[in-house]
Amino acid sequence: MPETSTEPLRIVQLYPRDMNIYGDWGNTLTLKRRAERYGLAVEVHDHNPGDPWPEQADLFVGGGGQDSGQFRVAEDLAAVSGHLHDAAERGVPMLAICGLYQLLGKSFRTGGGETLQGIGIFDLETVAGPERLIGNIVTESQELGTIVGYENHSGLTHLGAGQQPLAAVVSGAGNDGQDGTEGARTANVLGSYLHGSMLPKNPAVADFLLSAALEVRGEALPEKTFDDTLAERAREVASSRPR
Amino acid sequence: MSRPLVRALGQGVRWATSLRGGGSAFPGLFMEKLHPRFVSEELAKLPLGVVVVSGTNGKTTTTKMAVQLLRSQGLRVFTNRTGSNFVRGVAASLLAEMDAFGRLDADVAVLELDEAHAVHFVKQVRPRTSLLLNIMRDQLDRFGEIDTTRRMLRQVAHATTETVVLNREDPRIASLAEDLPEGTGVSWFGLSDALRPMFPSDDDMRDGLRQVDPGAEDSAVPSAERPRADVVLEAVNARSVELDVAGKAYEATVDLYGVYNQYNAAGALALALQVLGERADTASLVAELGKVTPAFGRGETITVQDKPLQLLLVKNPAGFRLSLASASAEDYATMIAINDQYADGRDVSWLWDVDFDRLREGGVDVVSGVRAWDMALRLDYDLVPVGTVEPDLETALRDFIAGSGDRPMRIFCTYTAMLSLRKILGGMTHVAAI
């Protein structure tokens, strides 16, 4: 049976300076608090454009931003692409929301007609659409269950033929408002348009990321001894709200 | 139809709807259909023109202050009441203020307009002066992105014919000065270097671990490189502020909740100085600031069972953070009520951009509103103890009052929660009409 070490769990927050819009900090906070409640030591580290790549990282989280912030981030991502691909192949978990999700795909054509190159961890392309897809959204993932959140994006994301989505849309728009898929998943890298923040109201997704992070180190998530009543109630309310 | 007849009809509709109770914008809608240029034609007649106040936070209170300052100097001021801040709301207010002969007894109009409505409004009526307060992420479910909000205010600045009064410390507002049409003047209001860290810009909001370490250095431009401000908030004391007005020091009483209101007072003063020009009496304007009372639900205090209960409207991360920063947690019984109706913003993601550490020591007595469970979860992850979670506002309010003991009470609430709470409180005690 794998052991739990005293090595802290190192969470790297990607581009908080440029991609911090709309509550995605809640994802990092949720991972930190849940890890603490599981009895793990946690370190949170920021990575902003131009920073040296962190040597040790167990889990990556990143959020959405203004279109303007994405240019700076795309440039830095190109520079650290090798590190991220390498981590993804080793099974290191990542959660990329909205703007960062788009840049983990192959390309993003903005409303201004410029094309940003992504780093291609996901086989998908995003094109800015004529109007924003905004509102409460409920999706269903076979492995992670019902995922609830709030979407607000103008990018329409089209998955490549072999790209696995994160979940199927139950109500809401999802990747492109057409194909019934939401987000993407490659190995333990999850991409999604869901704000809310996503992880507080989806503890199963948070725990999946924590487990995967420990698994890479040959450890397992300790048994859960706290309850998630608040999250359960908040999920119920969120899934019953109008768009 | 003849113009006086149209106006008289509009006034009739206003009278009829007032008999029914409520419906503040309906007579305006009627006028908009019947005589679309009514508002612009009427406002164009005012000798000192039109003043527009816009920005994310503080519009209502700042407009109230500006109106009071101008009135104290003898001006007759027309303003839009009851938050009906779009063109037909302005038309409805105009109808209410006109006499039977269609005369508007005013020298100047001071109008509060939200960003989206301001854009439509300035296409019809070009303001002579505008006061642009701040651009914070708010209602992104309506506006999409914060950069979109800035584009809206840029249109307001461009439509302004004489002077724009700008907040020097908000980078998105300050940069509006860069490409104004030739001939448009700029008046700045600002903060002393000592006060600037108290007002993080929206970009500082989640700059890395700042939330964990609020004392972290901010990235603002050094004061020497910033333009000279006509009004600077120099220092904030318990119930007074120190102001620098055109190089001269003044002390003013500002009995409003929160440092952000004290800063907005500097904006209102800068605006009043522009509108009044040479006839302005700075010393008496500063004294008048002390007589301003809070706008409804914006730090308004209601007495219930002989105890003060303060209603604090919160609608975005910057506002909530500043509101929390303005009082010590332990002294109060605290309730938080979060709704997610259209007027509140459907998306509650913004709660995760507010740092609730300040409430950890005193805790939160009651959490309520449609999104009570979301709020309770948010507090739980900031390790803030929560007494009860009760989504129903009326039950929650009664529990809260009953359990407050001898502590003064405060309720942080979103817009529709605030309106409901005021109504419920109206059944228990005296609540001023909006």
- CB B122, CB B43: distance < 8 Å: no
* List of residues 6+ apart from B22 with CB closer than 8 A: none
Which residues of A are less than 8 Å from B144 in CB distance? 132, 134, 152, 154
Say if residue B11 is in the same domain as residue B96: yes
Determine contact, residues B199/B229, Cβ cutoff 8 Å: no
Is A198:A205 a contact under the CB 8 Å cutoff? yes
* A181-201 per-position pLDDT tens digit: 999 999 999 999 999 899 999
**pLDDT given for residue A119 in this prediction:** 97
Q: What pLDDT does residue B166 have?
A: 97
Residues B167 and B281 reside in one and the same domain: yes
Structure tokens at A186: 């490659």
The verdict on whether A195 is a catalytic residue reads: yes
The reply to whether B182 and B303 lie within a common domain is no
Residue of B nearest to A233 (CA): B373
The answer to whether position B160 is within a domain reads yes
Query: Which of B224, B251, B286 is the endpoint of a domain?
Result: B286
Residues B23 and B172 occupy one common structural domain = yes
Closest chain B CA to residue A134: B141
On whether the CB atoms of residues B246 and A60 are closer than 8 A, the answer is: no
Give the residue numbers in B contacting A (CB under 8 Å), as ranges. 137, 140-141, 144-147, 203, 205-209, 211-212, 340, 346-353, 370-371, 373-374, 376-378, 380-383, 389, 391
Q: Which two tokens stand for residue A35?
A: 């890890």
Nearest-Cα distance to chain A for B120, in Å, is 20
Q: Is residue B235 in some structural domain?
A: no
Angle (nearest 5°) at CA B146 between B145 and B150: 120
- Chain A residue numbers with beta carbons less than 8 Å from the beta carbon of B341 are none
Give A-chain residues touching B391 at CB under 8 angstroms: 237
Please judge whether B349 and A230 are an interchain contact, meaning their C-beta atoms are less than 8 angstroms apart: no
Residue of B140, B212, B352, B392 best to disrupt the A interface, most CBs of A under 10 A:
B352
Do B274 and B400 lie in a common domain?
Answer: no
Size of interface A-B (CB pairs under 8 A): 108
- Owner of token pair 């004290």: B262
Q: Shortest CB distance from A33 goes to which of B146, B205, B381?
A: B381
Nearest-CB residue to A66 (from B145, B373, B378): B145
The confidence score (pLDDT) of residue B22 equals: 42
Q: Are residues B270 and B394 in the same domain?
A: no
> How far, CA to CA in Å, does A171 sit from each of A126, A146, A240, B10?
21, 11, 10, 44
Q: Is the peptide bond before A197 cis (omega within 30 degrees of 0)?
A: yes
pLDDT of residue A3: 53
Are B386 and B278 found together in one domain? Answer: no
Residues B264 and B357 in one domain: no
CATH number at residue B127: 3.40.1190.10
Q: Which of B316, B342, B374, B380 to mutate to test the interface with A (most CBs of A within 10 A)?
A: B374
Q: What residues 129-188 of chain A have any CB closer than 8 A to a CB of chain B?
A: 132, 134-136, 150, 152, 154
HSE (side-chain half, CA atoms, 13 Å) at B188 = 19
Q: Which of B350, B352, B380 sits opposite A230 (nearest CB)?
A: B380
**Set of chain B residues whose Cβ sits within 8 Å of the Cβ of A23:** 349-353
Largest CA distance in chain B: 66
pLDDT at B215: 35
Task: Using alpha carbons, select from B417, B413, B358, B365 the residue that is nearest to residue B383.
Answer: B358
pLDDT in tens, chain B (434 residues): 566 656 665 666 555 555 444 445 555 565 566 566 777 788 888 999 999 999 988 898 899 999 999 999 999 999 886 554 556 667 777 777 776 666 778 999 999 998 888 888 899 889 999 999 998 877 666 666 778 889 999 999 999 999 999 999 998 999 999 999 999 999 999 999 888 877 766 665 554 333 333 333 444 556 667 899 999 999 988 778 899 999 999 999 887 777 788 899 999 999 999 999 999 999 999 999 988 887 777 788 899 998 899 999 998 887 888 788 776 656 899 999 999 998 888 999 999 989 999 899 899 999 999 999 999 999 999 999 999 999 999 999 999 999 999 999 999 999 999 999 999 999 998 888 76
Asked whether residue B348 is domain-assigned, the answer is yes
Average pLDDT of the segment spanning A92-116: 94
Tens digits of per-residue pLDDT, A112-168?
889 999 999 999 999 999 888 999 999 999 999 999 999 999 999 999 999 999 999
Are the CB atoms for A212 and A219 separated by under 8 Å? no
Three-state secondary structure readout of A52-65: CCCCCCCEEEECCC
Note the pLDDT tens digit of each residue in A11-21: 999 998 888 76
Task: State whether B376 and A134 contact (CB < 8 Å).
Answer: no
**pLDDT-based confidence at residue A34 (cuts at 50, 70, 90):** very high
pLDDT greater than 70 at residue A104: yes
Q: What chain B residue is nearest to A31 in terms of C-alpha separation?
A: B381
Question: For residue B272, what are the domain limits?
Answer: 3-190+259-286
Of B140, B349, B374, the CB nearest to A234: B374
CB spacing of A200 vs B352 below 8 angstroms = yes
Q: How far is B217 from chain A (nearest CA, A)?
A: 14
Known catalytic membership, residue A83:
no
- pLDDT for the residue B103: 72
The predicted pLDDT at position B167 comes to 96
Q: Which is catalytic among the residues A47, A83, A85, A98?
A: A98
User: Which DSSP symbol is given to B21?
Assistant: -
What are the pLDDT digits (tens) for A55-65?
899 999 998 87
Q: A181 to chain B nearest CA, in Å? A: 21
Q: With b meaning 16 or more CB within 10 Å and e meaning fewer, what string describes B298-320?
A: bbbebebeeeebbbbbbbbbbbb
**A185 contact partners, CB below 8 Å, separation of at least 6:** A164, A165, A166, A191
Interface of A with B in 72-111 (CB under 8 A): none
For residue B353, list chain A residues with Cβ-Cβ distance below 8 A. Answer: 22-23, 25
A195 contact B CB<8A: yes
| Joined tokens for residue B34 | 């019947």
Torsion of the alpha carbons at A45, A51, A57 and A59, rounded to the nearest 10: 70
Residues B72, B92, single domain; the answer is yes
pLDDT at residue number B212: 33
Across residues A98-110, what is the average pLDDT? Answer: 94
A185 is in an annotated binding site: no
Number of domains forming the structure of chain B:
2
Q: Is A44 on the interface with B (CB under 8 A)?
A: yes
Q: What separation, in Å, do the N-terminal and C-terminal C-alpha atoms of chain B show?
A: 34
Query: Cα–Cα distance between B159 and A234 in angstroms, integer?
Result: 45
Nearest CA in chain B to A13: B208
CA nearest neighbour of B62 among B187, B189, B183: B189
Degrees, nearest 5: CA angle A178-A179-A183: 105
* Topology classification of domain A9-238: Rossmann fold (3.40.50)
Q: Do A22 and B353 touch (CB under 8 A)?
A: yes
Q: What is the pLDDT of residue B267?
A: 97
Question: Is B283 strand, coil or helix?
Answer: helix
Domain boundaries, chain A: 9-238
Interface check for A117 against chain B (CB to CB < 8 A): the answer is no
